[in-house]
Structure 1
Amino acid sequence: MIRMAAVAAAFDRDLEADFARIEALVATARARAVHLLALPEACLGGYLAHLDGGADQPPALRLDGPEIARLVAIAGDMVVCAGYCEDGGDGSRYNSVVCVGGGRVLGNHRKVHQPLRENASYDSGDSFTAFDTPVGRLGLLICYDKAFPESARDLALDGAEIIVCVSAWPGSRTGAPEDLAEDRWTRRFDLFDRARALENQVVWLSANQAGRFGSLRFVCSAKVVDPGGDVLATTGVEPGLAVADVDVPGALTAARRSMGHLRDRRPDAYRAVAAAAP
């Protein structure tokens, strides 16, 4: 049985304050015997204040640098996923998420799909790869990546049992209701989480930013979703920690026993998909 938790919390440009929040969240999770913790996109240094670029950019951190080493130390034996701006060298910058645990980096993903003008601030990743961890085989996605079924399917076909999607997903910027629970972008965020879990029959862990940053108001809605698309725990539209216990192998076996979505695929029939492949 794996106890997993997804965070909805606010983070900003103050890296020391971000680390203080992360330390507190990890301590709370540890006190609740959590094995796997998902923190939001851009929790180290904050998200973009302006989607069209501008001077106020997140700090770029190297995967092998002191900040990620500090995250490794904070995580200890817990598996922790956290979003950051990655310094890729040669002036490249990526919107990335790192997975750490047991004293080392376990995996890293660079966001592939860039909404609106995010490409004015970040270079784009180009792959999806699952990797082994103490809590099972994991895949990582960032925010808009989950709007594309191919992203999660690629990870599931690579053996991912759990997919962690970290986000800085905002509410509507036009015609926005006061109550985020009624916001159309909250509904879309939740729908993507449940659909991706169900169609791939995987456990889905979804973290998100909270509060406001620049012109954006984030929808929270951190959650744990089972392979049948049912939400096991959620923060709703408030900051917090969504915690659930999941027998991952048992849940996957039960979901896939009669209706195996990966097993029953017919790739030879998907002519348009095959034709578009490089």
Structure 2
Amino acid sequence: MTDRETLRIAIAQYACCPDPATNLDTAVEHITRAGAAGAQLVLLPELHNTPYFCQREDPALFDLAEAVPGPSTERLAAAARKAGVVVIASLFERRAAGLYHNTAVVLDADGSLAGRYRKMHIPDDPEYYEKYYFTPGDLGFTPIDTSVGRLGVLVCWDQWYPEAARLMALAGAELLIYPSAIGWDDATDDEAEQARQLGAWQAVQRGHAVANGLNLITSNRVGIEGDDNTEIRFWGHSFVFGPQGETLAEAGEQPELLVADVHPNRTEQVRRVWPFLRDRRIDAFDDLVRRFRD
């Protein structure tokens, strides 16, 4: 991808309903629209086949998990091939009985399975009980090679960790990609707190783009999901940042297919002026492998 002047990407931002078949239809519709808009890559939201089920702990919800590859990847691969786009999907992977992952699946423009990434950082917060469902990933921070370049795919909670973005960059990632599902609790988060959360979410990822000199794209879902006990309003605001943190495109809080052009060659230009990789003090970073320096 480094010899490509322009890469058109699309981010599918939409609400997910209780019916997985309908959600899969919606994903295919956005892939088709992205191809028609000239996109070469389309990013779907995190866990787009279902509502965000991690708001409660219920063993019956493991029935939502599916094999990878499997029926969903086959359907999405056919859509990718027909539209001629690379697709980053996000599925609840059933690896074996009792072993499940939050998995990003990359389908190349010819419909082939280019690779997968299993979410490494797993949250366990009120309304985000992911540790109950997901085993931490074991594939490492390894970019995935595709027809549009080497993709550094991470997932949601990973986006708060600069180490994850850095390791992808050091492994040769040419684009940082984060499918996400994040929102507010209107019962506890007032307007000021909502603004702080959204600002922090964007700021930390802007920092990853700048620190690594890479274009960065993030998706989110929209809409209100939950029941009488808990409710999340997913805030949307999917975005595209350039390698100096510049905002290339940003959605609002409504469903949208966000289309933007990124310029991969700018990584080379920016890193020549801001050579952060050159100046890293790798001889002084041993403590990064410790939980805390007492």
TM-score by length of 2: 0.87
Sort the Cα spacing of 1:274 and 1:84 in 2 relative to 1 into closer, same or farther, 3 A. Answer: closer
Encode CA deviations 1:148-177: one digit per residue, 9 max, x unaligned. 111111111010010110001112455424
- AA aligned opposite 1:209: R
Residue correspondences, number: 275
In structure 1, which of residues 11, 16, 20 is the aligned counterpart of residue 16 of structure 2?
11
- The residue that corresponds to 1:245 in the other structure is 261
Match of 1:94 among 69, 81, 101: 101
Equivalent residues of 1:51, 1:118 under 8 A apart:
no
Q: Is the 8 A contact 1:169 1:189 kept in 2?
A: no
**CA displacement, residues 51-100 of structure 1 (integer Å, 9 cap, x when unaligned):** 44453456111112122111100111200101110011132111111110
Aligned position for 2:34: 29
Asked whether 1:38 is paired with 2:43, we answer yes
Change (3 A) 1:14 1:258: same
Q: Root-mean-square deviation (CA), in Å?
A: 2.1
SS at structure 2 position matched to 1:236:
coil
The one-letter code sitting in structure 2 at the alignment partner of 1:34 is A
* Residue of structure 2 in register with 1:78 after alignment: 85
SS of residue matched to 1:61 = coil
SS of aligned partner of 1:184: helix
Q: Secondary structure at the match of 2:261?
A: strand
For 2:36, give the aligned amino acid: A
What are the residue-to-residue correspondences of 1:1-278 with 2, within 5 Å? 1-53=6-58, 55-57=60-62, 59-76=64-81, 77-101=84-108, 102-116=110-124, 117-126=129-138, 127-172=140-185, 175-177=188-190, 182-214=194-226, 215-248=231-264, 250-273=265-288
Alignment check: 8 A CA contact 2:54 2:130 kept: no
Q: TM-score, normalised by structure 1?
A: 0.92
Alignment check: 8 A CA contact 1:5 1:224 kept: no
CA distance in 2, matches of 1:236, 1:191: 17
Return 5+ residue gaps in structure 1 as ranges.
none
Structure 2 unaligned residues grouped into runs of 5+: 1-5
Give CA-to-partner distance per residue, 1:183-219, whole Å, 9 cap, x none: 3221122112211111111111101111122111111
Q: Post-superposition shift, 1:13?
A: 3.5
Alpha-carbon distance in 2 for matches of 1:149, 1:220: 22
Deviation larger for 44-53 or 212-221: 44-53
Q: Distance in 1 between matches of 2:290 and 2:134?
A: 29
Contact 1:48-1:58 within 8 A present in 2 as well: no
Is the partner of 1:208 in helix, strand or coil? Answer: coil
Identity between Structure 1 and Structure 2 (%) = 32
